């Protein structure tokens, strides 16, 4: 399933607007059919986040030479599964209770943060995801029960646990996503919290899927994502 988005007025401060400024986002697997008149596309993708306090998903971005009317298979990884755009470029998933995934074959390739006792953060255009208890391009989750915060990401502060009781007034915070460059740049959860926007789960986070995209999760990792610009 793809969501077409008109991108002509969107500002991407790092990568700029590509081609005609059109985007298709694939939150689930599907097929991208190259429009008439298009010979190049720019693809960015995330592998799924690792389950069971796993690592964050990898990230890759690549400009691909394509042919009008060409049908390209798009695979979007679920928790602990890789994502790919045909045979052009892919990103592996975070491994359960271990290392983060990594981009493969991209012009830009980054690795998700280390999981283990909390979830690792997703990689993104700004670099590698944060390891558990650490900041990075996205934040890793906090493993300690106390006053420690989750790691901060490029666009977000980590969550904070107040004392020994999780205080709902202090979740992770995130800047508005005004550009696709800022997808996956969130903060990690404090102890007993989910992260946001790719930030890893803190230890003992509630059962459920970790933050989208590609965060390492306490139970289930965040789903991957594929974005095609043309």
Q: What pLDDT is stored for residue 1 in this prediction?
A: 40
From CA 19, how far away is CA 17, in angstroms rounded?
7
Q: What pLDDT is stored for residue 5 in this prediction?
A: 43
Q: What pLDDT is stored for residue 164 in this prediction?
A: 57
Q: What pLDDT is stored for residue 30 in this prediction?
A: 97
Q: What pLDDT is stored for residue 216 in this prediction?
A: 97
Q: For residue 10, report the phi and psi dihedrals to the nearest 5 degrees.
A: -85, 140
Residue 50: Cβ within 10 Å count? 37
Q: What pLDDT is stored for residue 169 in this prediction?
A: 59
Q: What pLDDT is stored for residue 161 in this prediction?
A: 77
Element (H, E) at 31: strand 30-33
β-sheet bridge partners, residue 64: 41
Burial class (CB in 10 A: 0-12, 13-18, 19+), 97: middle
Q: What pLDDT is stored for residue 165 in this prediction?
A: 61
CB half-sphere exposure, 31, CA atoms < 13 A: 6
Whether residue 56 contacts residue 119, with contact meaning beta carbons closer than 8 Å, is answered with: yes
Q: What pLDDT is stored for residue 172 in this prediction?
A: 78
Q: What is the pLDDT along the chain (230 residues), one digit of tens a residue?
A: 444 444 444 578 889 989 998 999 999 999 999 999 999 999 999 999 999 999 999 999 999 999 999 999 999 999 989 999 999 999 999 987 778 999 999 999 999 999 999 999 999 999 999 999 999 999 999 998 877 889 999 988 898 876 556 666 567 777 777 889 999 999 999 998 999 999 999 999 988 899 999 999 999 999 999 999 99
CA-based angle 62:64:65, to the nearest 5?
A: 160
Which of 92, 91, 156, 100 minimizes the C-alpha distance to 128? Answer: 100
């Amino acid at each position: 399933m793809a969501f077409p988005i008109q991108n002509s007025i969107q500002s991407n401060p790092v990568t700029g607007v590509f081609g005609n400024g059109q985007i298709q986002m694939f939150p689930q697997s599907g097929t991208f059919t190259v429009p008439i008149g298009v010979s190049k596309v720019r693809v960015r993708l995330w592998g799924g986040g690792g389950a069971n306090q796993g690592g964050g998903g990898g990230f890759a971005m690549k400009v691909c030479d394509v042919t009008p009317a060409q049908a390209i298979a798009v695979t979007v990884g679920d928790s602990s599964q890789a994502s790919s755009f045909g045979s052009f470029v892919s990103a592996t998933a975070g491994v359960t209770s271990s290392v983060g995934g990594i981009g493969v074959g991209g012009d830009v390739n980054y690795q998700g943060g280390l999981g283990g006792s909390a979830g690792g953060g997703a990689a993104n255009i700004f670099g590698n995801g944060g390891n558990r208890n650490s900041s990075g391009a996205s934040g890793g989750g906090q493993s300690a029960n106390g006053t420690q915060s989750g790691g901060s990401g490029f666009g977000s502060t980590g969550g904070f646990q107040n004392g020994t009781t999780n205080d709902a007034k202090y979740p992770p915070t995130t800047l508005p996503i005004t550009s696709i460059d800022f997808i996956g740049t969130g903060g990690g959860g404090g102890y007993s919290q989910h992260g946001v926007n790719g930030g890893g789960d803190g230890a003992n986070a509630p059962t459920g899927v970790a933050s989208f995209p590609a965060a390492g999760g306490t139970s289930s990792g965040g789903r991957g994502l594929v974005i095609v610009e043309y």
